[in-house]
Every structure is written in structure tokens, then in C-alpha cells.
Amino acid sequence: MTTAPPRGRPPAIPRLARAAAALVAVVCLAHVLWSGLAHRPVALAFGALVALGELTRRADAEAREAAPLGAAGALAYALLGEVAGHAAPHGVAQTVAVVLAASLAGSVPYTARGSGPVLDHLARRVLTVAFAAVCFQPLAAQGTFRDWSGPAHALLLIALLALTTLCDAVLAAATAHARTGWPFGPLLREELRGMVGITSAVCATGVVMALAVGVAGLWALPVFCVPLLLAQQSYRRYAAVRATYRQTIASLARATEIAGYTPAGHAHRVAELSGAVGRDLGLSGAEQGVLEYAALMHDIGQLSLVDPVPAGATASLPVPEQRRIALLGGAVVRQTGVDPAVAVVVERQADPCRDQPPAARIVRVVNAYEEKARDAGPGGGLAALEELRLAPADDYAPDVVEALARVLSRGSLTGPAAG
């Protein structure tokens, strides 16, 4: 089994990233303090932009880029070679120092409320900006790109940003892998998928800002901030709608608990553990969403029963009865207007595992584990896992059972809370 890093001490990769970012930050700040701040109006303008981005950061804990405007401004400053046609060789050290100082300044209100960016966020910001600046600033200072104009210059900036975001994705996936133990490959794929969304907007805005300031000067900054700020506001509304939708699904899932068909908290525990197993198995973001909703509503078919199943333990019922309840649940889910894929998972959770979609296999295994381990006392989790392993091959997918064991080994193997 995979074991989790010792509690209370960050894993090696995050510690290494923080140490590298701290070293880069100290060297750059010392260089700027020694040599002075060059092109102060430009530095102050981009610093204010990054600080504004941090001040308007999204509070969504799951956001891939919480401060898109700050990230775009930082990348634009790293790739800035000219201001209104005049050279702006501020260099790598000043780029990192200005971005770091502005990020810290913009985070003060959040830090005071205890919701500021974690060290990993700042470490990634410093390393990402330093990488982009190292790739661009020395060559720009030597005049290498002086004859590059039009599409050639834009393509160069896009290529540098693509390489920078790739490095950032690798760092983010490695950090998540070290902290959670989830497979690195699926984590990296998920980070790369995210590049199609907000990361693409950040990179495009960064490129446009760098090019526009090079031609029109600093007045271009406020003009090109507006589209990203509007997109950020639209995302906030979308996130609010999604949160409300999820709360509605969760409330519907609690109907079986309120009616006394299932123990309190059962659906939430199954959904939480199913999500962890899905991440361990490398499910994509869309598949994770389907899995979460299906796990929350996997017992909704019990509302159609005249006589409740004792303790809602459907795993111990005969297979035909399990399938009848699953089909009834799927019919209810289809009436809610959620993704039809959720209804399919609910309907097929009692099928032989070889015929089930991945999400249905996960829900079946986790639900059975939660039911078997419930009220079992010390060692109940281990006994439930062993029972799942020894079950007939068509009952529970072996790869899902082993993924469940890995997930549980990162925390504890005690049984679920009593209902």
C-alpha cells in the first residue's frame, strides 16, 4: 500500500519548491536593493496591476488560477522588452522582485482574514515568473529580438508562455502527487486540460499586454485588464450557480436520510470516499463530477420501497432486489434534470462489475465498504476490505478495491462513523 507522508511535515517536493522559490526571491531582492529599481514608472505600473489581481482574486478553493489578472500581469512584465518603442531592460531580478512584492502587498487583506494564498501559491508564482523572465529578458537586453516584429514576435511570446505553463503544470502535479499520493500521470493530464480554460486566457492576456505596452506604452494596461476582469466576474457567477446546483443535489440526496431509509451522513461519506478513489484511479474532471453526483444519489431508489431496508444496507440484498432499487433510483435521477450519465451510473451500480462504467464500479465498492464497516468497531475497516477482496469476481472490481485500500491507507482504516 502507498503510505502518506508524515503528518505535520510537508512532503519533499513542496519543500524543495518552496526552498527554490525562497532562494530565487532572496537573490533577486538583494540584487534590486543593491542596484536600485530601474524604470520605476513601468515597475510601479505592473506592480499595481499584479497587486490588483491579488486583491480581486477568487475565493474558490478549487480554482485552478485564483488570481488570473495578477498572473497575466506578472507574465506580461516577464515578457516585456519595450515600452512605447523604447527598450525596457529591467532584467530577471527586478521582474521577480516586483512580482513578489506586489503579490504580497495584494494578499495583505486576505492574510489578515486568514484566507491569503498559501506558500505553494507564492512559490509557484515566483518560479513561473522567474522561468519566463530567464527565457526572455537576457536575450531581449542583447537586442536578439529587435528585428522580430509582427507575427514572429507574437509567436515567440506564445511559445515561451506555453513552455512556462507546461513547467508550471508539472510543478503543480508533482506537488499534488507528493501531498496526496495520487498518480502523477492523471494529475498532470488534469493540469494540462486546465490550460484550455483559464490558463489560456491568462497567457493570451499576458501576450497582448506585453505587445500593447511595447507599442502604445503603459496606457495599454488598463485597457487590456477589462476583458479579463469581466471574464473573472462571469466565472464567479457561474461558480455560484454550480455551488447552488450542488447544494440542491446534496439536499435531494438527504431525502433518504430524512425519511429514515439510510443512516445520517451515509451519502456524503460515500461521495467523499468515491471522489478520492476516482482521483486515485485517474478519472478526469468531468468524470469526477458525474461520480460525485451519482455517489450522492446512489440510494435515492430506496424512497420507492414500501418497507425500508434495515439500516439502508443494500449490499446484503439479493442481486435482483439491488438491481430493482438501482433502476428505481435511475428513474428518479432522470427526473431531476442532471446529466443523464449520472442516472446511468445509479442504474448500473448493481450490475456485474465487468459490465459497469468506471464510476458505477467505484460507487458499488465504496457503498459496500461503508455499509460493511459501519458499526463494526475497531478493525471494521480492515475486515470490510478483506471481505470485498474475497467476494466473487463479478461483485466488486479488484482494481477499485485496491484503490480504496490505498486511499484509506493515507488516512486510517477505521470504520465509518456510525449512522
Tens of pLDDT along 332-346?
888 877 888 888 888
Q: What is the mean pLDDT of residues 150-166?
A: 77
More confident residue, 171 or 145: 171
| Claim: this prediction has a pTM higher than 0.75 | no
Average pLDDT value over all residues in the chain: 80
Is the pLDDT confidence value at 27 over 90?
Answer: yes
- pLDDT of amino acid 240: 79
DSSP labels, 203-234? HHHHHHHHHHHHHH-TTHHHHHHHHHHHHHHH
Find out whether 353 and 394 touch, Cβ atoms under 8 Å.
Answer: yes
Is the pLDDT confidence value at 396 over 80?
Answer: yes
Find out whether 248 and 273 touch, Cβ atoms under 8 Å.
Answer: no
Q: If 0-12 CB within 10 Å is exposed, 13-18 middle and 19+ buried, where does residue 12 land?
A: exposed
* 244-265 confidence digits (pLDDT tens): 888 888 888 788 888 778 788 8
CA-nearest of 66, 48, 17 to 199 is 66
Q: How far apart are alpha carbons 337 and 252 in whole angstroms?
A: 12
* 114-124 confidence digits (pLDDT tens): 665 567 778 88
Specify the pairing of strand 82-83 against strand 86-87.
antiparallel
- pLDDT of amino acid 34: 92
Q: How far apart are the first and last CA of the chain?
A: 28
- Cell numbers representing residue 306 in the block: 414500501
Find out whether 403 and 2 touch, Cβ atoms under 8 Å.
Answer: no
Q: What is the mean pLDDT of residues 176-204?
A: 75
DSSP labels, 363-387? HHHHHHHHHHHTT--TTHHHHHHHH
* 100-113 confidence digits (pLDDT tens): 999 888 888 777 77
* 268-278 confidence digits (pLDDT tens): 889 889 988 98
CA-nearest of 280, 133, 154, 160 to 212 is 154
Per-residue CA distances from 3 to 6, 305, 405 (Å):
9, 42, 11
Q: What is the helix (H) or strand (E) element at residue 82, kind and residue range? A: strand 82-83
Is the pLDDT confidence value at 236 over 80?
Answer: no
pLDDT band with cut points at 50, 70 and 90 for residue 414: very low
Q: What is the mean pLDDT of residues 402-410?
A: 85
Lowest mean pLDDT among 25-29, 297-301, 304-308, 394-398: 304-308
- pLDDT of amino acid 307: 72
CA-nearest of 358, 364, 359 to 395 is 364
Which sign, positive or negative, has the C-alpha torsion 29, 125, 188, 181?
positive
pLDDT band with cut points at 50, 70 and 90 for residue 297: confident
Lowest mean pLDDT among 105-119, 159-173, 366-380: 105-119
The contacts of residue 62 (CB under 8 Å, 6+ apart) are none
